[in-house]
Structure 1
Amino acid sequence: MPRFLRLACVALAVAAAALLAGCSTPRVVDGRVQSFTTLNAVPSPATYRLERLPSQQTPSFDSIAALADQALARAGLRRDDAAPGVLVQLGLQADTVPRLDPWDAPYGPYGMHGPWAWGGWHGRGWGVGGLWRMGGPTPLHRRAVSLVMRDARTQAVVYETSAVHEDVWVSDPAVYGVLLDAALQGFPTPPQGARQVRLPLSPAVPAVPGTVTPSAAPR
């Protein structure tokens, strides 16, 4: 066998091994979290009622509401629709975010700032063409959750938090469950300002109709 063919076979074997290793590694969800609070301790009583908006009064939202109940329970709150201490409103967002093609910039991905400045390149992964411009970068799937808590007696907002995740892979509703946990990290006195929260994606939540399928190899 010619030497270049042997080298090609070795390279393919290494790439296959790396791909298999990546498939066996649990996915980690990176969430950009920002929280605001007026609480000094868990509300008393530590109970809540989830107030579903008109657009959320559908059976398809039940699985998301169940994920919210689980995340709130892990945060130390108990659901009690009859005697809530706080009223919780849940928001969700799902869309795609285009990424800039680095080769659309003058002088390729390096722009005019030398080989260490990647200019407008955002996110991870290449499109079909990669460096050869056979296709643009794979768009990112964006998933976001927000939680607003109001004192049940005064109606004053006492807690506000959100979490956003962008990746070439997405798994609904599992990603929403992880983002809800990320948004509630540190409740009721979370760190101030924006922060990154990394949590493993649980494979236990089954996919639902309408789930976006993976568009790139898993990490």
Structure 2
Amino acid sequence: MTMSRTFLRPAARAARSPRAVLWALLLTTAVLAGCSTTRTVEGDVQTHTRLAAATLPLGYRIERLPSQQGTDFEPIARLAAQALERAGLRPEGAQAPLVVQIGVQASSVQRVDPWGPSPWGWGGWAGTGGWGVRGIWRMGEPTPLYRRAVSLLIRDARTQEVVYETSAVHEDVWTVDPALYGVLFDAALAGFPNPPAGRRQVRLPYPPPAAAAASPAAVQPAVVLPAATR
């Protein structure tokens, strides 16, 4: 018990020191500044194709489901159309040879704090006033895990046969809606019309929305990796 008291007292004094508080604030600022850099979105992509021998560009029209008729779906449809154009498809109205159906999903799950309740009191070690490891890095509850998913189903307009099916899923503790869906549409269409076989990871930089809207060329080429490399 004597050793424990001797150990805790210097830690408590250091935590109450203005210098310790200043260093903690500087460290937090540096972390937040690092979070403002360009992000990379990694999509878990699965694709099945019967268009491997198709010649681009291909004409298409988007067929909306009954739940997609409202104006609130317009931003999603616009992002999908931009991704389709970058992949080599062109809108052609009612006479288009291909029909595209769009799917989007959004969900979140509350993560469990891996540290669990602190056995040393709130925010770190006993007597440190909340400036222990938990006090700096784990202020409050863990951020929820957000799941965003997109899918594209492409059919032959004449036969109604599905000729291209693709999806992309992204999970992370940050989310930007609906702009993130645009990056996922690009990931789902990577390699169109002859993508790599099997499940794969597609990494794309998250571009500033203004730059992406101004020029499709602002979206950099995708990096495709086997799923096993995660």
Structure 2: segments with no counterpart, 5+ residues: 1-12, 117-132, 211-230
CA drift of 1:150 comes to: 0.7
Contact 1:140/1:168 (8 A) holds in 2: yes
Pick from 164, 186, 208 the counterpart of residue 203 of structure 1: 208
Task: Give the match for residue 79 of structure 1.
Answer: 91
Quote the offset at 1:12 in angstroms. 3.2
What do residues 37-79 of structure 1 show as CA deviations (whole Å, max 9, x unaligned)? Answer: 1222335771001000000011111111111111000000000
Task: Give the one of 70, 79, 91 matched to 2:103.
Answer: 91
SS of aligned partner of 1:102: coil
| Greater alpha carbon shift after TM alignment, 189-198 vs 7-16 | 7-16
Q: Give the structure with higher Rg (CA).
A: 2
Code of the aligned partner of 1:186: G
Partner residue in 1 for 2:19:
6
Name the counterpart of 2:114: 102
Point out the more displaced range, 82-91 or 38-47. 38-47
For residue 103 of structure 1, report the CA deviation from its aligned partner.
4.8
Q: Which residue does 1:172 correspond to in 2?
A: 177
Paired residues of 1:142 and 1:166 also in contact (CA < 8 A): yes
**Deviation (angstroms), 1:8:** 4.6
CA deviation map 1:115-172 (0-9, x unaligned): xxxxxxxxxxxxxxx8589854321121110000111121111110001111221111
> What fraction of aligned residue pairs are identical, expressed as a percent?
58
**Contact conserved, 1:48 with 1:81, CA < 8 A, in 2?**
yes
Across the aligned residues of Structure 1 and Structure 2, the Cα RMSD in angstroms comes to 2.7
Mark the runs of 5 or more structure 1 residues left unpaired by the alignment: 105-129, 206-219
* TM-score when normalising by structure 2: 0.69
Q: Normalized per residue, which structure has more helix?
A: 2
Say which is worse superposed, 190-199 or 174-183, in terms of deviation. 190-199
Distance 1:102 1:44, change over 3 A: closer
TM-score when scaled to structure 1?
0.72
Alignment-derived partner of residue 15 in structure 1: 28
Counterpart of 1:30? 42
Instruction: For 2:188, give the aligned amino acid.
Output: A
In the aligned structure 2, how far is the partner of 1:14 from the partner of 1:70?
Answer: 40
| CA distance in 2 between partners of 1:185 and 1:44 (Å) | 14
Provide the rounded CA distance (Å) in 2 between the counterparts of 1:134 and 1:20. Answer: 17
Structure 1 runs (4+) deviating above 4 angstroms are 2-5, 130-136
CA distance in 1, matches of 2:198, 2:168: 12
